[in-house]
Amino acid sequence: MKILLRKRRYRDEDGRLKTRTQIVFRKSEKNNRNRARTKRRRKGSFFRKLGLALVLVLVAAAALGAVAGTKAYHRVQAALDSLERIDIGTSREDLYISDEAYDALKGTNTVNIALFGKDVEDGGYQRSDSILILSINRSTGDMKLVSVQRDTFVPLPGFEDLYKINSGYFFGKDALEVKALNMNLDMNISKFVTIDMEAMCDLVDALGGVELTVNEEERLELNRLLDDINWRLGGTFSPYLEYAGTHLCDGRQALTYARMRYLGNSDFDRTARQRILMNKIFQKLMGAVSSKNVRILLRVMDAMGPHITTNFTNAEIYELMWTVLRGSKSLTAYSLCDEDYIKMGIVDDDMQVLVPWTLTDMAADLHRKLFGDSFVYSPSAQQRAASEAVEDYIYYYGVDLYDIDTGSTI
């Protein structure tokens, strides 16, 4: 146990910013190293795969518009009309899109979209469980999906302190999350799509279930966790799996399969199961598109509509997804969590965060992943200020940093 003196900023009753000194009891460095390794193993995200499912649903909507008759087309329109629409502003100033980023990204011929997966914590305290950036090339239809770690420690637009980036959803919902991505990563995002955890269940059910193979250890763990999913979602409970082997799983069983963590090699096996599930969903959904199975696609649209919030118009959805259908329909997924610039830090109340050291390096890595090695990235003044704010915070408060790969003190 270590005892440290640390300065904390706070606001008094009149809203004035003040500083006080606190005594902080810190666990041993050995424990922190173990926690750093645990944080590294948590890179896989269920909602990263759910982001892919969301893309497929919108592709299906565009396909329906092209292959279905008048009656089906009107039903698709009704499903798109049911999406919750939220206005987050349109001006570059409102969305924290710097002039430098706007000018630089105009030549990439891409549309960049924020995808948020949300989960509800106990007591209704809600943050975005996942944050992704989807980039679609308008010429080729190629898609790139980059996940931003939800614990990334950054400044939020309009706030003096630093927070985990997913706190933006708690403080300002989708609008603040979009602004945070633009400010910290030099992006030009003006469109977003948010989806909740129940979407996976309803998507699988709309597809008539998916076949999943489980061993005995997985079966027992799935049945144990299925109780929690059943109680959280209510309604008709899904049954246990009665034997090891291949099952046609419904939505809740599939969701539980994707969320199992403490088996085998922890999160590595978990992400492998998620890839299996998403491949099954991809095959069934694209099979319905290829065979022009309007009945299944309509079920998908009806199921997913209530779980989606966006600022896309119907016309924009059709135009964008028709671009995808005409192109290669390839999707490449990346994670924005490179050990070269992501460190683990321990801040307020022993909270673990991922510190971008530096945030400018993180932004440069994002631009390479989205636009290729030939893209020359030059940070804007806004982005440099955000990066310096992270560095200043770490120095001012004496935050201990740990290598996320080895857990050793930096």
What's the rounded Cα separation, in Å, for the pair 201 and 127? Answer: 20
Residues in the chain: 410
* pLDDT greater than 90 at residue 100: yes
Question: Tell me, what's the pLDDT at 44?
Answer: 43
Tokens found for residue 89: 């502003």
| Least confidently predicted of 66-75, 203-212, 246-255, 357-366 | 66-75
Question: Tell me, what's the pLDDT at 16?
Answer: 53
* pLDDT greater than 80 at residue 139: yes
Instruction: Please report, for residues 53, 98, 99, 134, 145, the alpha-carbon distance to residue 93 in angstroms, rounded to integers and kept in the order given.
Output: 32, 7, 9, 22, 25
Of residues 332 and 264, more confidently modeled: 332
Mean pLDDT calculated for residue range 364-373: 94
Q: φ, ψ for residue 301 (rounded to 5)? A: -60, -45
Instruction: Please report, for residues 56, 68, 346, 360, the alpha-carbon distance to residue 296 in angstroms, rounded to integers and kept in the order given.
Output: 13, 12, 48, 45
Q: Name the one residue in this structure whose structure tokens are 């992943």.
A: 369
Whether the ω angle into residue 246 lies within 30 degrees of 0, i.e. cis, is: no
Start-end of H helices in 99-215: 99-106, 167-185, 198-206
Q: Name the one residue in this structure whose structure tokens are 């119907």.
A: 314
DSSP secondary structure, 38-82, as one string: HHHHTT--HHHHHHHHHHHHHHHHHHHHHHS-HHHHHHHHHHHHT
Residues near 262 by beta carbon (within 8 Å), at least 6 away in sequence: 221
Q: What is the rounded average pLDDT for all residues in the chain?
A: 79
Of residues 11 and 304, more confidently modeled: 304
Report, in angstroms and rounded to the nearest whole number, the Rg of the chain calculated over CA atoms. Answer: 22
Question: Tell me, what's the pLDDT at 34?
Answer: 46
Q: In this structure, are residues 184 and 363 in contact, taking their beta carbons and an 8 Å threshold?
A: yes
Q: Comparing C-alpha atoms, which of 294, 254, 307, 295 is closest to residue 278? A: 254
> In this prediction, what percent of the chain has a pLDDT beyond 90?
31
Secondary structure letter of residue 122 according to DSSP? G
E-strand stretches of 250-318: 308-310
State the greatest distance between any 2 C-alpha atoms of the chain, in Å, as a whole number. 71
Helices 99-106 + 381-397 axis angle, to 10: 130
Question: Tell me, what's the pLDDT at 24?
Answer: 38
What's the rounded Cα separation, in Å, for the pair 62 and 44? Answer: 29
H or E element at residue 192: strand 191-196
What is the three-class DSSP state of 186?
coil
What's the rounded Cα separation, in Å, for the pair 187 and 381? Answer: 13
Of residues 312 and 39, more confidently modeled: 312
Mean pLDDT calculated for residue range 235-258: 92
Of residues 152 and 117, more confidently modeled: 152
Q: In this structure, are residues 258 and 129 in contact, taking their beta carbons and an 8 Å threshold?
A: no
Q: Comparing C-alpha atoms, which of 232, 280, 283 is closest to residue 256? A: 232
